[in-house]
Amino acid sequence: MHNRTVTAEELRALVGKDLEPSPWLLLDQERISAFAEVTEDRQFIHVDAEKAKASPFGGTIAHGLLTLSMLPSLIEKTLPALEGMKASVNYGYNKIRFLAPVRSGKRVQAKFVIAEFSETGPGRYQIITNITVEIEGEDKPALIAEWISMVLV
């Protein structure tokens, strides 16, 4: 659930400004293992703690795509909803880079900057958001992305 509703003009005024960071989100082994089952990506670095100890990561890590897939939940708690919104659709990404592994049991937080907000047709808006997902206690972010959303009002 979005934290508040704004007009198109108010959303446009947020372009280029840092939004409040998302709440911290725990990426624990239970979530990692569930994602592995759903996606059928059961590579040992995600699901086998003993074998993963011998890897360069020293233990299991979250799938990069798991971290990416948490963005809708994280942005919903941060980005205000456009007044009259009927639907918000994931339109795609211009860029995604996985910069550091998220070790099992670590928390992540997303930071968002609206890079662009435009009306693409009657009742149709496009939002391009720059995202950095930070790992608690680490210098290097887990990922950066440029996300395109389509909002229908």
- pLDDT at res. 5: 92
Give, in words, the CATH class of 5-27+63-152: alpha beta
| Number of neighbouring beta carbons within 10 Å of residue 1 | 5
Q: What is the pLDDT of residues 108-144, one digit of tens each?
A: 999 999 999 999 999 999 999 999 999 999 999 999 9
SS3 3: coil
| Single-letter code of the amino acid located at 101 | P
- pLDDT at res. 8: 95
Continuous segment of H or E residues that includes residue 151:
strand 143-152
Q: What is the pLDDT of residues 12-53, one digit of tens each?
A: 999 999 999 999 999 999 999 999 999 999 999 999 999 999
- pLDDT at res. 1: 54
| Residue 8 CA from chain centroid, whole number | 23
Task: Give every CB contact of residue 24 below 8 A, 6+ residues apart in sequence.
Answer: 107, 108, 109, 136
- Facing residues of 58 across strands? none
pTM over 0.85: yes
Q: Kindly list the domain boundaries of the chain, sorted by start residue.
A: 5-27+63-152
